[in-house]
Chains A and B, each alone.
Chain A
Amino acid sequence: MSDEDEIRCVSCGITITGPAFTSFPCPECGEVTIARCKNCRKQSNHYKCSECGFIGP
Protein backbone atom coordinates (compact mmCIF):
# COMPACT_ATOMS: atom_id res chain seq x y z
CA MET A 1 0.00 0.00 0.00
CA SER A 2 1.43 3.40 -0.93
CA ASP A 3 1.46 6.37 1.45
CA GLU A 4 -1.38 7.96 -0.50
CA ASP A 5 -3.62 4.94 0.06
CA GLU A 6 -3.03 4.96 3.80
CA ILE A 7 -5.94 6.08 5.93
CA ARG A 8 -4.89 8.03 8.98
CA CYS A 9 -6.96 8.92 12.02
CA VAL A 10 -7.43 12.71 12.08
CA SER A 11 -7.24 12.76 15.90
CA CYS A 12 -4.19 10.64 16.71
CA GLY A 13 -2.56 10.23 13.28
CA ILE A 14 -2.31 6.46 13.51
CA THR A 15 -2.52 4.46 10.30
CA ILE A 16 -5.86 2.72 10.37
CA THR A 17 -6.12 -0.93 9.51
CA GLY A 18 -9.02 -3.35 9.80
CA PRO A 19 -12.74 -2.66 9.62
CA ALA A 20 -13.33 -0.98 12.97
CA PHE A 21 -12.97 2.66 11.98
CA THR A 22 -15.29 5.18 10.48
CA SER A 23 -14.85 7.78 7.79
CA PHE A 24 -17.30 10.44 6.80
CA PRO A 25 -17.35 13.85 5.10
CA CYS A 26 -16.82 16.80 7.42
CA PRO A 27 -20.24 17.55 8.97
CA GLU A 28 -19.80 21.29 8.39
CA CYS A 29 -18.19 21.70 4.95
CA GLY A 30 -18.25 18.21 3.47
CA GLU A 31 -14.99 18.91 1.62
CA VAL A 32 -12.67 16.74 3.68
CA THR A 33 -13.07 13.09 4.60
CA ILE A 34 -12.62 12.58 8.31
CA ALA A 35 -11.40 9.18 9.49
CA ARG A 36 -11.57 8.19 13.15
CA CYS A 37 -9.93 5.11 14.60
CA LYS A 38 -11.72 2.81 17.01
CA ASN A 39 -9.82 4.08 20.04
CA CYS A 40 -10.41 7.75 19.32
CA ARG A 41 -14.12 7.10 18.86
CA LYS A 42 -14.24 5.15 22.10
CA GLN A 43 -12.32 7.81 24.03
CA SER A 44 -14.31 10.58 22.33
CA ASN A 45 -11.15 12.36 21.21
CA HIS A 46 -11.76 15.59 19.35
CA TYR A 47 -11.27 15.82 15.61
CA LYS A 48 -10.71 18.94 13.55
CA CYS A 49 -11.48 19.56 9.90
CA SER A 50 -8.39 20.79 8.08
CA GLU A 51 -10.54 22.79 5.63
CA CYS A 52 -13.12 24.63 7.76
CA GLY A 53 -11.77 24.14 11.28
CA PHE A 54 -14.89 22.39 12.57
CA ILE A 55 -14.18 20.64 15.85
CA GLY A 56 -16.15 17.56 16.73
CA PRO A 57 -17.72 15.45 18.03
Chain B
Amino acid sequence: MVEEDTLIPVEDYLKAGVHIGTQHKTNDMEDFIYKVRDDGLYIFDIGKTDQRIRTAARFLSRFDPSKILAVSAREYGKRPAELFAKIVGGKSSVGRMIPGMLTNPNLDHYIEPEIVVATDPIGDQQALKEANTSGIPVIALCDTNNMISNVDLVIPANNKGRKALSMVYWLLSRETVKEQERLADDEKFKYEVEDFEAEI
Protein backbone atom coordinates (compact mmCIF):
# COMPACT_ATOMS: atom_id res chain seq x y z
CA MET B 1 0.00 0.00 0.00
CA VAL B 2 1.25 3.48 -0.86
CA GLU B 3 2.31 5.34 2.28
CA GLU B 4 1.70 9.05 1.94
CA ASP B 5 -0.56 11.81 3.18
CA THR B 6 -4.10 11.10 2.11
CA LEU B 7 -6.94 13.58 1.63
CA ILE B 8 -8.72 12.19 4.67
CA PRO B 9 -7.49 9.73 7.31
CA VAL B 10 -7.26 6.18 5.97
CA GLU B 11 -9.65 5.10 8.76
CA ASP B 12 -12.38 7.26 7.22
CA TYR B 13 -11.88 5.60 3.86
CA LEU B 14 -12.08 2.20 5.51
CA LYS B 15 -15.16 3.17 7.55
CA ALA B 16 -16.99 4.20 4.37
CA GLY B 17 -15.92 0.97 2.66
CA VAL B 18 -14.30 2.72 -0.30
CA HIS B 19 -11.64 -0.02 -0.43
CA ILE B 20 -14.09 -2.93 -0.63
CA GLY B 21 -14.28 -4.48 -4.07
CA THR B 22 -16.21 -7.49 -5.30
CA GLN B 23 -15.48 -11.20 -5.50
CA HIS B 24 -14.64 -10.78 -9.15
CA LYS B 25 -11.75 -8.96 -10.72
CA THR B 26 -10.90 -7.95 -14.25
CA ASN B 27 -7.44 -7.66 -15.74
CA ASP B 28 -8.13 -3.96 -16.32
CA MET B 29 -8.46 -3.34 -12.59
CA GLU B 30 -5.61 -5.58 -11.46
CA ASP B 31 -3.20 -2.64 -11.09
CA PHE B 32 -5.39 -1.01 -8.46
CA ILE B 33 -5.94 -4.10 -6.30
CA TYR B 34 -3.99 -4.47 -3.07
CA LYS B 35 -4.98 -7.97 -1.95
CA VAL B 36 -7.70 -10.58 -1.85
CA ARG B 37 -9.37 -11.21 1.49
CA ASP B 38 -10.03 -14.66 2.95
CA ASP B 39 -13.70 -14.35 2.05
CA GLY B 40 -12.75 -13.77 -1.59
CA LEU B 41 -13.34 -10.02 -1.72
CA TYR B 42 -10.76 -8.03 -3.61
CA ILE B 43 -9.47 -4.97 -1.76
CA PHE B 44 -8.36 -1.72 -3.38
CA ASP B 45 -5.11 0.07 -2.64
CA ILE B 46 -6.43 3.18 -0.86
CA GLY B 47 -3.29 5.15 -1.75
CA LYS B 48 -4.04 4.72 -5.44
CA THR B 49 -7.70 5.63 -4.97
CA ASP B 50 -6.69 8.78 -3.11
CA GLN B 51 -4.16 9.72 -5.79
CA ARG B 52 -6.69 9.19 -8.56
CA ILE B 53 -9.26 11.41 -6.81
CA ARG B 54 -6.67 14.20 -6.74
CA THR B 55 -5.79 13.64 -10.38
CA ALA B 56 -9.47 13.58 -11.40
CA ALA B 57 -10.13 16.84 -9.54
CA ARG B 58 -7.16 18.48 -11.26
CA PHE B 59 -8.37 17.13 -14.58
CA LEU B 60 -11.94 18.39 -14.04
CA SER B 61 -10.73 21.85 -13.07
CA ARG B 62 -9.25 22.30 -16.56
CA PHE B 63 -12.71 22.21 -18.14
CA ASP B 64 -15.44 24.81 -18.17
CA PRO B 65 -17.53 23.86 -15.08
CA SER B 66 -20.79 24.18 -17.00
CA LYS B 67 -19.52 21.55 -19.46
CA ILE B 68 -19.13 18.82 -16.83
CA LEU B 69 -21.75 16.08 -16.88
CA ALA B 70 -22.19 13.64 -13.97
CA VAL B 71 -24.20 10.53 -14.73
CA SER B 72 -25.54 7.82 -12.47
CA ALA B 73 -28.03 5.12 -13.28
CA ARG B 74 -27.28 3.49 -9.95
CA GLU B 75 -29.78 4.33 -7.20
CA TYR B 76 -27.22 5.12 -4.50
CA GLY B 77 -25.25 7.27 -6.92
CA LYS B 78 -28.10 9.59 -7.87
CA ARG B 79 -27.89 11.98 -4.95
CA PRO B 80 -24.06 12.13 -4.88
CA ALA B 81 -23.90 12.74 -8.65
CA GLU B 82 -26.56 15.47 -8.54
CA LEU B 83 -24.94 17.24 -5.62
CA PHE B 84 -21.49 16.92 -7.17
CA ALA B 85 -22.78 18.54 -10.38
CA LYS B 86 -24.46 21.30 -8.42
CA ILE B 87 -21.33 22.09 -6.41
CA VAL B 88 -18.86 22.12 -9.29
CA GLY B 89 -21.32 24.01 -11.51
CA GLY B 90 -22.03 21.26 -14.00
CA LYS B 91 -24.99 19.20 -15.15
CA SER B 92 -26.22 15.81 -14.06
CA SER B 93 -28.21 13.00 -15.58
CA VAL B 94 -29.47 10.47 -13.08
CA GLY B 95 -31.61 7.41 -13.58
CA ARG B 96 -32.16 6.12 -17.09
CA MET B 97 -30.22 8.14 -19.62
CA ILE B 98 -32.34 8.98 -22.64
CA PRO B 99 -30.51 7.74 -25.73
CA GLY B 100 -29.31 10.53 -27.97
CA MET B 101 -28.66 12.95 -25.14
CA LEU B 102 -25.04 13.40 -26.27
CA THR B 103 -25.39 12.48 -29.94
CA ASN B 104 -28.72 13.68 -31.35
CA PRO B 105 -28.93 17.48 -31.75
CA ASN B 106 -32.62 17.23 -32.72
CA LEU B 107 -33.64 16.19 -29.22
CA ASP B 108 -34.79 18.76 -26.66
CA HIS B 109 -32.57 17.34 -23.95
CA TYR B 110 -29.45 17.29 -26.15
CA ILE B 111 -26.37 18.65 -24.40
CA GLU B 112 -22.73 19.01 -25.39
CA PRO B 113 -20.55 18.36 -22.36
CA GLU B 114 -16.77 18.43 -22.57
CA ILE B 115 -16.29 15.73 -19.94
CA VAL B 116 -18.43 12.99 -18.45
CA VAL B 117 -18.15 11.60 -14.91
CA ALA B 118 -19.74 8.14 -14.72
CA THR B 119 -20.61 6.32 -11.52
CA ASP B 120 -20.50 2.80 -12.91
CA PRO B 121 -19.32 1.76 -16.39
CA ILE B 122 -21.87 -1.09 -16.40
CA GLY B 123 -24.93 0.91 -15.36
CA ASP B 124 -23.91 3.98 -17.32
CA GLN B 125 -22.94 2.16 -20.49
CA GLN B 126 -25.29 4.30 -22.60
CA ALA B 127 -23.45 7.44 -21.47
CA LEU B 128 -20.08 5.82 -22.16
CA LYS B 129 -21.20 4.68 -25.59
CA GLU B 130 -22.45 8.13 -26.55
CA ALA B 131 -19.36 9.82 -25.11
CA ASN B 132 -17.24 7.49 -27.22
CA THR B 133 -19.22 8.36 -30.34
CA SER B 134 -18.94 12.09 -29.63
CA GLY B 135 -15.27 11.96 -28.58
CA ILE B 136 -15.91 13.17 -25.04
CA PRO B 137 -13.40 12.10 -22.37
CA VAL B 138 -14.80 9.99 -19.53
CA ILE B 139 -13.87 9.71 -15.87
CA ALA B 140 -15.43 6.67 -14.19
CA LEU B 141 -15.61 5.18 -10.74
CA CYS B 142 -14.61 1.59 -11.36
CA ASP B 143 -14.99 -1.39 -9.07
CA THR B 144 -12.87 -4.54 -9.27
CA ASN B 145 -15.38 -6.22 -11.60
CA ASN B 146 -15.53 -3.41 -14.17
CA MET B 147 -14.03 -3.35 -17.65
CA ILE B 148 -12.59 0.04 -18.46
CA SER B 149 -13.48 0.23 -22.15
CA ASN B 150 -14.13 3.81 -23.27
CA VAL B 151 -12.92 5.18 -19.94
CA ASP B 152 -10.11 7.75 -20.03
CA LEU B 153 -9.47 8.09 -16.31
CA VAL B 154 -10.27 5.44 -13.73
CA ILE B 155 -11.05 6.20 -10.10
CA PRO B 156 -10.73 2.80 -8.43
CA ALA B 157 -13.35 2.61 -5.69
CA ASN B 158 -16.35 0.75 -4.41
CA ASN B 159 -19.11 2.06 -6.68
CA LYS B 160 -21.91 0.05 -5.09
CA GLY B 161 -21.99 1.12 -1.45
CA ARG B 162 -24.11 4.05 -0.32
CA LYS B 163 -21.45 5.43 2.01
CA ALA B 164 -18.58 4.70 -0.36
CA LEU B 165 -20.23 6.60 -3.21
CA SER B 166 -21.02 9.57 -1.00
CA MET B 167 -17.44 9.65 0.30
CA VAL B 168 -15.86 9.52 -3.15
CA TYR B 169 -18.17 12.17 -4.60
CA TRP B 170 -17.73 14.38 -1.54
CA LEU B 171 -13.95 14.22 -1.88
CA LEU B 172 -14.13 14.76 -5.62
CA SER B 173 -16.39 17.80 -5.16
CA ARG B 174 -14.17 19.29 -2.46
CA GLU B 175 -10.95 18.79 -4.38
CA THR B 176 -12.45 20.05 -7.65
CA VAL B 177 -13.71 23.21 -5.97
CA LYS B 178 -10.24 23.69 -4.47
CA GLU B 179 -8.61 23.23 -7.85
CA GLN B 180 -11.08 25.69 -9.34
CA GLU B 181 -9.79 28.14 -6.70
CA ARG B 182 -13.24 28.63 -5.23
CA LEU B 183 -12.16 27.21 -1.89
CA ALA B 184 -8.94 27.97 -0.05
CA ASP B 185 -6.84 25.11 1.35
CA ASP B 186 -7.52 26.16 4.95
CA GLU B 187 -11.19 26.98 4.33
CA LYS B 188 -13.85 24.53 5.50
CA PHE B 189 -15.96 22.85 2.82
CA LYS B 190 -19.57 23.75 3.58
CA TYR B 191 -20.96 20.31 2.67
CA GLU B 192 -20.58 17.22 4.84
CA VAL B 193 -20.26 13.63 3.66
CA GLU B 194 -23.74 12.95 5.07
CA ASP B 195 -25.22 15.51 2.65
CA PHE B 196 -24.10 13.26 -0.20
CA GLU B 197 -25.59 10.08 1.20
CA ALA B 198 -28.61 8.69 -0.59
CA GLU B 199 -31.62 7.83 1.52
CA ILE B 200 -32.21 4.18 2.24
Contacts and interface: CB of A to CB of B under 8 A. Distances in A.
Nearest to A44: B148
Interface residues of B, number: 21
B154 A57 contact: yes
A41 B58 contact: no
Contacts of A24: 59, 115, 137, 152
Centre residue among A28, A42, A54, A57 by max chain B CB count within 10 A: A57
A40 to B, nearest CB: 10
A19 B153 contact: no
Nearest to B55: A27
B135 A20 contact: yes
Contacts of B153: 27, 56-57
Given A27-B56, A30-B62, A56 B135 contact: no
Interface of B: 28, 55-56, 58-59, 62, 115, 132-137, 147-154
